[in-house]
Amino acid sequence: MAGEKRRREVPIEAPTTWPFDISHEPTLKIGEVRELLSAEFPMLALSKIRHYESLDLISPRRTPSNQRVFSLADVERLRFILTEQRDRYLPLSQIKELLRQLDSGQAGAEHPGRMRAVDTGEVARPKPGTRLTKSEVADLTGASIEQIEDFAKAGILAIDPRGRLTSQSIDIVRYGMMALELGLDSRKVRSMKNSAHAHASTISAVLAPQLAKQSSLERERAYAQASELSAVLVGLYQALLVENVEVELD
């Protein structure tokens, strides 16, 4: 009885990281964490969870055999990180600052989404024509510099002579990583880039007469039409792809 009494008198340490009102008891393996988040983030890879840990965004416990063990609080922390990246295009450096503020109590834990480390305009999705460094793309996508360089070596990403990437590189890296996680290899992803290049040439040929004109208004109309044609081709390709997959699996 005395031993039980002493055990009850041992104070339970309060959690030091946000969220404070959810269990911090480590009971979940990394695969179970992905399963809990799969409905909202179906393409979440184990490598991305490990990457967030390497950046100190999450801190799972370790078993004596060095396996990661997560708590429900870790799951909510991951959900916050993934949502900020997906919905607001916040770079990981800014998300880390948001988490620091939540951990220290500087921001209201009840409504973390209302707290911002920077103005909304500063973290908006890069505009077409913007050039980004590898570090910026890594920050916005959660990919490592090595993964971005591998995409460039495979011919999936285009890097200019100054070592910069286009604004579209963000989505290329995100979807490229998803494709690799689902079993495609770099050569198959590269073939999609080649197909996209061929269709871009088709659009350019259609609009060549307008682009040849000196009128800035005509060129502006041509760019708008190119955007519309691109959207139509994407929709058409999606329909054709889904149809062919259904036929193949029937």
Q: Which residues contact 227 (CB under 8 A, 6 or more apart)?
A: none
Per-residue pLDDT of the chain (250 residues; tens, 9 = 90+): 445 444 444 344 668 899 988 999 999 999 999 999 988 888 788 888 998 999 899 999 999 999 999 999 999 999 999 998 888 777 888 888 899 989 988 765 554 544 443 344 444 567 777 899 998 888 888 788 888 999 999 999 989 999 899 988 988 998 888 888 778 888 888 998 899 889 889 888 988 888 787 777 877 888 888 888 888 888 888 899 889 988 888 7
Torsion angle, alpha carbons of 235, 238, 241, 242, to 10? -120
DSSP 8-state symbol, 90: -
Tell me the residue length of the chain. 250
Q: Which residues pair with 131 in a beta bridge?
A: 166
Q: Report how far residue 194's alpha carbon sits from residue 155's, in angstroms, rounded to the nearest whole number.
A: 9
Q: What's the one-letter identity of residue 111?
A: H
Structure token pair of residue 179: 């494709």
Contact 207, 225 (CB under 8 A): yes
- Which pTM does this prediction carry? 0.58
Q: Which H, E and C letters describe 5-29, residue by residue?
A: HHHHHCCCCCCCCCCCCCCCCCCEC
